[in-house]
Structure formats: structure tokens, C-alpha cells
Chain A
Amino acid sequence: MRLHSLIVYLVTQRRGAVWSAVALISAASVYVLVTRMKLDSEVLNLLPSGFESVEGLKIYNRDFAQVRDLTFALVSQPEDVDKLEEFAPQFAQNLREQPWCTRVLAGVPMETPEGIRDLQSIAVPLLLNLEPGVFNETVSLLLPEKMRERLHRLHFELEAGSPRPQIELGLDPLGVIAPALKPFASNSAIEDDQPLTSPDRTMRVFITVTNQQSLGPTDCQKLMREVKAFQESAKQGWDGGPLQILVTGRAAYVAEISLSMRHDIVVTLLASITLVGGVFYIGFHRWLPLIGMGLTMLLCCLVALASAALIFGQLNGVTIGFCAILIGLGVDFAILLFGRYQQARDEGIDHPGAVSEAVRSLGNAIFFGALTTAVGFLALMLAGSQGFTQLGVLTALGIFFAGIFMMTVFFLFLPRKSSRPRNDWMFALVKKYVRWIVRRPASILWISVPALLILTAVALSPKPPIIFDVSTQSMAPKRSDAGYALKTIMEKMPSRWEPVIGIVKAANAQQLHDYWHKVAPEWNQLQVAGKIKSFSTPAALALSPARLQTNREKLQTVDFQATRETLEAAIAAEGFNRDTFDSAFVLLDQLRGVADPSVPLPDWRTQLPQDSSWWFLVDRYFAHDPLLTTGFVTTHKPVATQEQKEMLQRELPVEGVPMVLSGWSFTLTDLVPWSQRQLVLISALMALFDATLLALLYRDWRLWLIQIATLAMAVCAMIATMKLLHLPLNLLNVLAFRLVLAIGVDYGIYVLLVWQKARQLDHDVAGVVKPVILAGLTAICGFGALGIANNPTLTGLGYACAIGLFWSLVATIFFTLPAAAAAEPKSWREESLQPRVQEPENV
């Protein structure tokens, strides 16, 4: 039994069995979706693998506690800056009291008594980690003569009105803490690199660490619900003008993106169904096939999603666009089949015969159409991105299921009794057009060819340039509170741009120390040379076990009893208040303790109180694994060009130190060549595939040439439109080109295959051109529906595809058809227009 006969048998004679199979497949799919499907909101999974910078970003996001930071910003009116300064401590205290908040950084730790106290608590290990020369010099301050001299001088300066003695004696009454902290403090000028107050004082920034269990969407949404409630009540006590409380951070983004995913799925699907349904009804004036088409598409989506859930486990956010794309594409098959089916019914053929005719005459076209589209989407696997691999495989599966279900299940919804034929104005119009272009192809070619060539020239011309947006904002949700907060902070504090990070992993503490002590001088040279603005490393906190041991041995030579007595005497001689020196005596005892080799050295991580603000600094540098660390390099301008990136890639690595360079801006800049390669190379491969397939399909070099020219001009018109409308390409919507090539070629295949086999040219070709127009419009609507998604990657992809398909459709109708006609002799064209069978006028 031939395939079309088998299908006719199943959908007409064994309807119950087919319905049962549909119910079974649907139930199984729903079960799989409910039990297996997880949404992945990790935007990094959209980026290609194999890039060190991408891997670095993933490591940083996964292993460093800083990703659990939430940044709050209070923004007041300029006249309320004093009130804001007064309100800030109250707000910080309020934050500290929140159950979800572990720590708050509300000011420079060094300027608070707690910050100084905490720093004193880790002074001993940092002192022992000093370089031998500096250590010797520092410890010499404990010699009686030097100690007396120092206190005398401080007394003198105090009398002279200097602020220094008060600061110095407050932090370091013994004089050994400051040198110990110097390497650390040089890295800790938070206010320089990451200011907490805007220059105009209208913004105050508070950084918090949250205690959320994970960074998964559910935990982030739960946390952000609590944060929103806090935002509502946090203005209590504020008596100034309008005050904005902004919040941003990874949890805020994850919560928003995961929620907007749901919104995008629902909205784009509904918009897609409405638009596609509208186009279908305008074309055929029938509801039942429309409902049947919608339900069949739903089945396609359900089965494809379930299959994908089984294959991948969890689906990335971008794949949510799949449903809208699939509807746009799968409906093409339904429209083509129904167009042919209806034509047969209107010619008086019964239901089984019309089903047979539709499947027989369009089976090949649908097969090749599905093949080119599926290959186009499967080519997304070449992008090397997990998210796009999923999208490619999903859509290819969806197209496959759409082909099967539209040629079987869809016919179950069609009425077996034929309704009264109606006046089909669209068919009549298309038929007139086809007759006209067959008779006078040159008249339309004289308009379409110059227009398409002008657009091609615009596309190829360097001006206007096509906008290529690689900024991080190009990937942030459009309507995002977290995005708005980040943008406001960046505007108010322009110096807060994101640094380049250098990730270093060591096998042991000594190696970590050695690595960073190699890196720090090299980066310092780059700073001196003006190649970078500043840098900070964990060198001061990467303790060297060998150096600790050596310095401990040196401490044994100090006579701590004599030092203590000298200090007591000097305090009395200079008239200092002894209470000021309490911490000095404690430190002397600690130093005497660690001088004993049998006493274990205190670990600074346990010495530093858990609620200390200094942890913000420590967490910047150290991952959960203390041997995984990162250094930061601030550039003079945000990293945006290849020259900047290449300079950093050339200069920052240090010989003998395995380092991964990363950071958002750095990574996105790093990916630009990849993205451009995607645009050129993989699109070219697609074009080659299409060209080969078409050559095999048509076996006619003229038609082949026409179709290739159509594709080339359609893609150029798409580029020109994006240039003229200032629609930017980003790292993701460059993939639209291959999709346009894959889908756009189908229109030509449908039209030219019928053209080749037409018995009466205007009747047969109009019979396929009308469904192609409707199919094109539905595909454009399907992609255009993505434009209302909140996710800009989907929006960009949707707009680019809709524009590309629009030009593919235009080029097929106004160039392919007349060019195919122009390629034939006039006599052949006249003869082809003569009717060979009597057909009703409404068809």
C-alpha cells in the first residue's frame, strides 16, 4: 500500500484507532512534561562552549559567593542629600535585621570602629606573611628605642594638630599592624573602585549577602518576594521627597528572567495563535480546519517538548521561542495541505479522494520543505551553545512531528461532507496575477529586480553600517527592575564598570601565594605603563606557609617582656591614656604566643568575624574553595573593542601562572568573532546545502539559478532593512540568517515544483501561490509574535526572522515567479495557460 493510500485508510476508515493513538501520545507527553521538564534560566548556557572566557564566567558564577550579593541603592532628590546621609545607617540596620540577609556593606569598613577591630583580629597572620625585609623592619619597631621614639613623635604631632596620630593610634598603637595590612589595604580601597556613594550624593549603595539556599529560579523568586516586601516597608522613617529603593543582583535577575519566561511563553503563544488563526480565516473562511490546525499544532508542541525534555532533561529559556516558531512553520504544512484538499473538494472529489490528492501532490514538497527547515535548525548545533543546540534539535523534532501530524491527525478535523463553494477573492486575485506575470513577466521584473538590487547594494555598502550590539544590556530583559537598578547605578557612578577578572587555581597554599606574587608585580608594571587603570589581587591574603614559618622563627628573637615594659614606660612618659594602648598589649601577647613553634598559627578565616564587612572584600577574591581565586583589572574604559580585548589577552597572563581571563564585557567582546563567523561561515554552509538540494530537486539550471538569486536578494534585503531601521544584530539574532535561508527556500520549492509539473499554469500555480502567501504570512506572524517577548534575545531573533521571511515571500512572488516565466519561451507560456480540464471559477 502506498503512503498516501495508507494515510487515507487510517484517517477515513480507522478514525477511532487514530484518535486513540492521539490520546495516548498526548497523555504520555503531558506525563513526561509534568515529571521531567525543568526550565534553565542560566543565560551563560546560551553562550558557546570552548571559549575560555565563557568557562571562566561559569566558574565565577558557580564558585564565588559574590554571586549571592544583592545590591540595594537609595536614590533621593538633590535637595535631600543630607537626609539621605542621615537615613542610610537606619536603612542599613533595617537590612541587617532581615531574615534573608547575612551581611551588609554600607560603608568603607576602614572608616568604622568595627571594621578596624576586625582588621586587627587578622593582623598576626598578615604580619607573619610579610616579605622577609619588610618583616624585619616592622618587627624592629618593637625594639625599646624605636618604640619610645615613635610614641614621642606621635605625641608631638598630636600637639601640632595632625589628624594622623589619632588615626594611627586608633588602628595600630603598636605600629606593626599598618605594615602588615599594607599589602591588603592597597587592595581594599573599595571607595576608589566600587564607590558606595555617588559623586552628587543622591545615591547610596548597600551590598548585601543573602542566605538563599540556591540560585535556582524557585529560591530566587522566593527571596525576591521577601525583598519586595522589604522595599515596600523600608521607607519608614524617611521624611524627604521621593525616594527610590532599587535592587539588583543575580538573584533579582534570575527571579525576573524565570518569571518573564512564563510570561513570554504564554504571551507569544497566544499572539502567535491569534495572528496565525486570523490569517488562516482570512484565506479560507472556515473555522473547523482552523481549530483542527491549532489542536494539531498543540499536539506537535506537546510531543516535541516532551521529546526534548527526555533528551535534554532541562530546557533553556531561549527554547521557549520554539513554540511560537514551530507554530509559524508547522502551520505552513497545514495551509498547503488544506489549500490543495479544498481545491480538490471544490472540484467535486470526495473526502478520501481529496485527502489522497493533497497528500500525494504535496507529500514531496512537504518532505523537502521539512528537510531544509529541519537542517536549518539543526545547524544551530554548530553554534556550540547548549541553549541553541536545544533550540535546533527541538525545532527540527517539531518540524518532523508537524509533517507527520499534519498529514494524518489534521485530516481528522476536516468535515467529510463538502460545504457550499464560496467566492474566493484571494484565489481569483492570485490567479489574475499569475496569468499576468506569465504573459508579461518583464513588466514586474522591471520593478522588482531594480528594487531588490538597490536593497542588495545597501546591504553590501559599508554605509550605513549594520549595528552590532555586544553590550551586556543587549541580553538583559527589556522591562526589568533589576536592569533598571543596574543602569541607574552605572549612570550615577560611571566608574563602577565591570572589571576583567583573572581566575587562578592552585594546588596548594604555597603555590597560590607564589602565583599571585608573580602576577601582582607584572600587573603593577601594566598600571605604571598606563595600559590598565588599576588592579587588585588576593596576594595579601594568599599566605605562604614557608614564609610564615621563617618569620615565626625570627619572632623568637624578640624579648617581649622588655617590649612590654618599654611600652608601659613610654606611655607614662608621653602622658598618653593607657586605655588607648589596650589592643597593643593584646597584640604583644598574641605575637609572643605565635613565636612558640608548638602553638598552632591562627587561621585568619576563623579569626575574622562572620558578620565583618571585610568578608565582602575576601569574597571578591576567594571562591568557596580557598585555592580558587580571582584578581580584578579595571580598564580605562569599559571593554568593548577587539583591540582592548587583544591587548588584555596579550598583557595580563603571566608566564608560569595558569590564568583564565573573563568578565562579562570581556567575554562578550571575545565572542564577537565567533558571532561573525556564525553569520558568515555557517550561513554559507546552509546556502551550500540549499543550493545542492535545489539542484537535485529541479534538475534545471535556470530554475536553480533563479532560486539562488531569490535567496541571495532576500537575505540582502533583510540586511538592508535592518540597517535602515537601525535594528541591531546581537550575539544571538545573527542566527536568524540561517533560519531565513532554511525557511525561505521552502517557498521557492513549493512554487517551482508545481510550476514544473503544472497542467494548467495559472490554475495550478495560483493553487499553490495562495497557500504559500498564507503560509508566509503565518510564519511572519509566528516570528513577529516573538517581538512582544520580554527576553531581548527572543525579540531580536523574532524581528530578524520576520523581516527575512517577509523578503523571502516578496522575492518569491515578485521575482521567482516572473523570472521562471521569463525563462520559458513565449509560446510555451501561452500554451500553458490553456485549460486542459474544466474547473469551477471559484477555485
Chain B
Amino acid sequence: MFNHPRKIRSACLTTGLFLLLSSPLLHAEPLSPADLKTLLGRIREKRAAAPQMQADFQEDKSVKMLNKPIASSGKLWFQAPNKFRREAKGSSPSTTVSNGQVLWIYYPKFKSAERYELGRRSPLDAGISAITASLNLENVEATYNITATKEADGYQLQLLPRNPSMKRFIQTFGIRLNNELQVLRTDMVQPNGDRLVTTYSNENRAPIPASTFDFTPPAGTEVTTPMGR
């Protein structure tokens, strides 16, 4: 079968190409439950030592309502367990701030803001919970069924929600960590097919002033409460 030199060369090239393409897969090893537990323990320790982080983000969103994906970038501040601030730049700038009880979304271009109360078991809570879980990973195994693989440059966690209210909001949730256990990328797929991929860079765990997570709408801002009565 391989007696013709061209055929042999072609077979070697194909095999080489296959090995080249599949090399990352060959390096990915599923973690045993014990190893996963150890990994989550290490993450917990690291987060406990520095419960805050700030990083740049790049977001790609595919929404069923829109024909094209949306790309945005900006900076994110996070304080465990559930405070965060997200400032998006570009043509659609916005500031999203949550102190754990209230979520604000401010649109400077329209001088308008939306105010949402959290903790009322609304779909919004599940969304916020997913965002904070990826950054915090505290007690994440209580909310999700987790599988993990060890890769050459870090870890890939695959999260499947346990809770039915989370299942309504998230179908799958992937988190990629580097060897220092910093979150590099999250990939959330929603049951309706919407997908949100976020890439983080320049992570910093320096202390963050508490005022970062407070928000007062600037004077003249039109405030709405879309989830209110």
C-alpha cells in the first residue's frame, strides 16, 4: 500500500499534520475527582489570600436577536464574594456596578441608568451569579457539576449548573485558568443559544477601594427600574 514514495510522503505529511493539530489534545488530561478537589482547594486558598482582582477584558457576544456578534472591551474590578464593576469602552460605553444588593448599568451616551435589585430570585440573579462564580470560584462545586482537564499551560474547567434556576440561564460554562490559577477566558452558552466569550488579561490583585463598587448616577441621569413592578 505504501510502496510508492509519493504515497508514503503523503501519508507521513497527513500523520504529521494530524499530530500537530491534535497536540494540545494529547496534552489535555482529565483530572480525577481527587485532583479536582485539590485544584479547587488551591484556587480557594489563592482567592482567600487576595479576594480582589482587576483585569482588562475582551468580550465577544453572540445574541440570537442580532445578526452579528458584538465585541466590546474594557476593565473589570471584582471583590469577593459578589461585588464588581465593569467599564466598557468603545462605541457603546457603559458602566456596570454591583455591590451585591443593587446592580446599576449606566449609559453615559444617553445619560441614563438602569437599577436592578438583586436577591429576588429573578433570572438576573442567575446571570450575576454566573459572572461572579467565574471570578470567585468560591464554593462553586455546590452550584455546578464540575469536570476539569489539565493542559500544558493551565486548566480547563467545564461547569454544568445543578440548580434549575441556573439551568434556565446557563447551559454550559467553561473557565480556562493558567498555571497561576488566574482566569484567562470564560465561555458561557445559554439555553437559547446565546453565547458569551470573555478573555481576561493584565490581572492584578492589588487592593481595591470600597468606593469602586458604589454608584451614584450623575446629576441629570434618567433612572429606570426595568424589573420593578
**B66→A155 contact, CB < 8 A:** yes
Could you show 24 A-B contacts with beta carbons less than 8 Å apart?
A82-B163, A82-B164, A85-B165, A86-B164, A155-B66, A157-B107, A158-B63, A158-B65, A158-B66, A159-B72, A160-B96, A161-B61, A161-B72, A161-B105, A162-B94, A162-B105, A163-B123, A164-B226, A166-B63, A185-B229, A189-B229, A192-B229, A576-B67, A580-B64
What residues on B are CB-neighbors of A162 within 8 Å? 94, 105, 114
Interfacial residues, chain A to chain B (CB-CB below 8 A): 82, 85-86, 111, 153, 155-169, 185-186, 189, 192, 197, 575-577, 580
Known: A85-B163, A85-B164, A164-B114. A159 touches B92 (CB 8 A): yes
Chain A: interface secondary structure? Answer: helix
| Distance of B175 from chain A, by nearest CB (Å) | 19
What residues on B are CB-neighbors of A167 within 8 Å? 226
Determine the distance from Cα of A157 to Cα of B229 in the docked complex, in whole angstroms.
21
Specify which of A111, A160, A166 is in contact with B107 (CB 8 Å cutoff). Answer: A160
**B226→A156 contact, CB < 8 A:** no
As a 0/1 sequence over residues 97 to 137 of chain B, the CB contacts with chain A under 8 angstroms (1 = contact) are: 00000000101011000101000010110010000000000
What residues on A are CB-neighbors of B61 within 8 Å? 159, 161
| Distance of B65 from chain A, by nearest CB (Å) | 5
B184 close to A (CB within 8 Å)? no
- Residue on A with the closest CB to B162? A82
- Residue on B with the closest CB to A188? B229
Question: How many contacts A-B (CB < 8 Å)?
Answer: 73
Specify which of B63, B65, B94, B123 is in contact with A160 (CB 8 Å cutoff). Answer: B94
Determine the distance from Cα of A444 to Cα of B61 in the docked complex, in whole angstroms.
98
**A163→B124 contact, CB < 8 A:** yes
Determine the distance from Cα of A168 to Cα of B43 in the docked complex, in whole angstroms.
39
**A156→B110 contact, CB < 8 A:** yes
Determine the distance from Cα of A838 to Cα of B212 in the docked complex, in whole angstroms.
112
**A580→B114 contact, CB < 8 A:** no
B68 close to A (CB within 8 Å)? yes
| Distance of A710 from chain B, by nearest CB (Å) | 65
**A577→B92 contact, CB < 8 A:** no
What residues on A are CB-neighbors of B64 within 8 Å? 577, 580
B88 close to A (CB within 8 Å)? yes
Determine the distance from Cα of A86 to Cα of B67 in the docked complex, in whole angstroms.
33
Determine the distance from Cα of A576 to Cα of B70 in the docked complex, in whole angstroms.
12
What residues on A are CB-neighbors of B66 within 8 Å? 155, 158, 575-577
What residues on B are CB-neighbors of A576 within 8 Å? 65-67
- Residue on A with the closest CB to B127? A163
What residues on B are CB-neighbors of A580 within 8 Å? 64-65
Determine the distance from Cα of A192 to Cα of B63 in the docked complex, in whole angstroms.
31
Q: Tell me the chain B residues, 55-69 only, with Cβ under 8 Å from chain A.
A: 61, 63-68
What residues on A are CB-neighbors of B163 within 8 Å? 82, 85
Determine the distance from Cα of A155 to Cα of B116 in the docked complex, in whole angstroms.
19
- Residue on B with the closest CB to A81? B163
List the 10 closest pairs (A to B, CB-CB), nearest first.
Answer: A160-B94, A159-B92, A85-B164, A164-B226, A86-B164, A159-B70, A575-B67, A580-B65, A162-B105, A156-B92
| Distance of B182 from chain A, by nearest CB (Å) | 22
**A166→B65 contact, CB < 8 A:** yes
As a 0/1 sequence over residues 44 to 86 of chain B, the CB contacts with chain A under 8 angstroms (1 = contact) are: 0000000000000000010111111010100000000000001
Determine the distance from Cα of A640 to Cα of B109 in the docked complex, in whole angstroms.
54
Q: Tell me the chain B residues, 140-183 only, with Cβ under 8 Å from chain A.
A: 162-165
Known: A186-B229, A576-B66, A580-B65. A161 touches B164 (CB 8 A): no
Determine the distance from Cα of A158 to Cα of B66 in the docked complex, in whole angstroms.
9
- Residue on A with the closest CB to B103? A163
Known: A82-B163, A82-B164, A577-B65. A161 touches B226 (CB 8 A): no
What residues on A are CB-neighbors of B88 within 8 Å? 160-161
Determine the distance from Cα of A13 to Cα of B165 in the docked complex, in whole angstroms.
88
- Residue on B with the closest CB to A83? B164
What residues on B are CB-neighbors of A159 within 8 Å? 61, 70, 72, 92
Determine the distance from Cα of A645 to Cα of B163 in the docked complex, in whole angstroms.
45
What residues on A are CB-neighbors of B107 within 8 Å? 156-157, 160
**A160→B92 contact, CB < 8 A:** yes
Determine the distance from Cα of A167 to Cα of B225 in the docked complex, in whole angstroms.
13
- Residue on B with the closest CB to A168? B226
- Residue on A with the closest CB to B107? A160
Determine the distance from Cα of A588 to Cα of B129 in the docked complex, in whole angstroms.
38
What residues on B are CB-neighbors of A82 within 8 Å? 162-164
| Distance of A728 from chain B, by nearest CB (Å) | 40
Can you name 7 extra interface pairs (CB under 8 A) apart from A160-B107, A163-B124? A157-B105, A161-B72, A162-B114, A168-B226, A192-B229, A575-B67, A576-B67
**A153→B63 contact, CB < 8 A:** no
- Residue on A with the closest CB to B91? A159
Determine the distance from Cα of A38 to Cα of B108 in the docked complex, in whole angstroms.
74
Determine the distance from Cα of A168 to Cα of B96 in the docked complex, in whole angstroms.
19
Known: A163-B124, A163-B127, A164-B226. A158 touches B165 (CB 8 A): no
**B68→A575 contact, CB < 8 A:** yes
- Residue on B with the closest CB to A187? B229
**A158→B70 contact, CB < 8 A:** yes
| Distance of B189 from chain A, by nearest CB (Å) | 16
**A577→B67 contact, CB < 8 A:** yes
Determine the distance from Cα of A159 to Cα of B114 in the docked complex, in whole angstroms.
14
What residues on B are CB-neighbors of A163 within 8 Å? 116, 123-124, 127, 226
Determine the distance from Cα of A240 to Cα of B70 in the docked complex, in whole angstroms.
43
| Distance of B163 from chain A, by nearest CB (Å) | 5
| Distance of A85 from chain B, by nearest CB (Å) | 4
- Give the most central of B63, B86, B109, B163: most A CB within 10 Å: B63
